Amino acid sequence: MRSWQVETQCPQCGAPVTLKEAQHVLSCSYCKTRLYLTPNGPFRYAISPKTASAETIYIPFWRIKGLGFTAYLPPKTAGSLIDKTYLATDVSLDMVSLGTRPQVMRLGFANSQKGLFIRPRRDFKRLLDCAIRQLNSPITERETIRDDPNIFLTDISGGDPFDRSDFSHWSPERTRTVFKKYDPVVSAFLDEGNSLVYFPVTAEAGDTVILSDGLTNRPIGKLTPSGLERLTKTAATAMSPPGALPLLCPNCGWDLDCAEESRAVLCPGCDKVWEIRRGHYASIPFEVPAKGNPDAFYLPFWKIKTTIPRLALHDTRDLARFANQSHIPRKPSPLHVFIPAFKMRPRLFLQLCKVFTCAQPETHPADRLPKAPYPILLKRDGIREMIPIVLAEIGAKKARFYPNLNRAEPAVERVTLAFLPFRQTGYEAVYEGNVTFAIPRNVLKWGRKL
């Protein structure tokens, strides 16, 4: 599917710039300016109408995008990619979502000087709760069960224990289809950042005001004249494009290093990691293994130091018993949950959480950044909700702890960024620490486009 294309201008020289979907870094090919975009609130995009007019009315839609995970009973975990748009106002329209329109139309940053931009009347958190409730819905799956027939030998005392009659009508494999229901226990959603998308409509005055699609001129709604007046009164009086931060380290002034869609930036000058919070840079503590490999490249993980008293998980010995591991550590050490700070398919994402949380790789605070780290694509907000999902994957005796997952209430003491070394082979990236695990390199390549 084609990603969104947002057309804007360089704030330094005014040259046209096209941004990709989820791109936070603006790079101008003319004046070589690099800026990190920092919107005041959500990103606000507008779909360009077929015929531009100062009287065009722009209706807001909330966009919700991220990774959703759910643990079910009977024991099962599942994940999905969520990318939906919801009507953000109380106007009655025939369209409740934007569908694929943002992929095929030109987008720009919303500007109140180019039309009437209606303020959203539906709270984003409320719509996000609606999307999460869908994760908490029961699911029914069709399963095919194979019945293995029992063959009884008779007349053993005879010359031939088998009946050599015609077996053409008999099938050794008999199957039947059953429908199995799974009830949700707990869910988690990793939000990639909310945004508003404004859709253009035109209003044809009369006894009944007809609202028409600004792209196809097809009628999509009706209003009374008083309803149109109330609608236009909710238009935003001021709406400016997003602000920007120069990609210069606030500590040493060095050029910051990051990918276009990065959620955190790196300074190779003073070896610091910065995230953007409320329009400012904030430092993130990071850790690396004690022994580094000069030929390795590093993948970022969120390392969460936690305890879960309700499940009797306080240290690594408790975790080993919980996962029914053959090796129990002699000395207990603090319990950490590892969550990838990059995107990939939900099933493999959960597998990485399970493998590295069980392995508990040792990392230590460092004053030097590793060489060639992979971009940090997932922010740390909301990763606490992933802890029960990871425990659902790890635990061995699921019937005992599954009913208590939604009341686990993990106590998070600290969240740091851990860079783990991987060695590149032909088609895989291989981790060779206290556990050996391989990730297809194409998964990392296409994960940046999810």
- Dihedral of the CA atoms 29, 32, 38, 40 (nearest 10)? -70
At a CB cut-off of 8 Å and minimum separation 6, what does 185 contact? 70, 71, 72, 73, 392, 402, 403, 405, 406
Q: Is the separation of the CB atoms in 212 and 202 below 8 Å?
A: yes
Q: What is the DSSP string of 407-424?
A: G---EEEEEEEEEEEEEE
Q: Is the separation of the CB atoms in 245 and 276 below 8 Å?
A: yes
End-to-end Cα distance, the chain: 10
DSSP 334: B
Report pLDDT for 65: 87
- The answer to whether the Cα torsion of 396, 398, 404, 405 is positive or negative is positive
Report pLDDT for 34: 86
Nearest to 362 by CA among 300, 288, 273: 288
CA distances from 28 to 39, 207, 267, 318, 400 (A): 18, 50, 21, 53, 57
| Mean pLDDT (the chain, rounded) | 83
Q: Is the separation of the CB atoms in 215 and 105 below 8 Å?
A: yes
Rounded CA separation 246/269 (Å): 16
Question: Two tokens at 447?
Answer: 């994960």
Q: What is the DSSP string of 241-256?
A: --EEEESB-TTT-PBP
Q: Which runs of consecutive H residues, i.e. helices, occur in 283-378?
A: 316-322, 346-359
- pTM of the predicted protein model: 0.85
Rounded CA separation 407/403 (Å): 8
Of 56-65, 74-83, 168-177, 340-349, the poorest mean pLDDT is in 168-177
Report pLDDT for 51: 78
pLDDT at 38 over 80: yes
**What mean pLDDT comes out for the span 352-358?**
93
**What mean pLDDT comes out for the span 102-107?**
82
**What mean pLDDT comes out for the span 221-230?**
83
pLDDT tens digit sequence for 233-268: 877 767 777 888 888 999 888 988 888 888 899 998
Angle at 110 between CA 243 and CA 93, to 5 degrees: 145
Domain boundaries, the chain: 39-135+189-243, 285-447
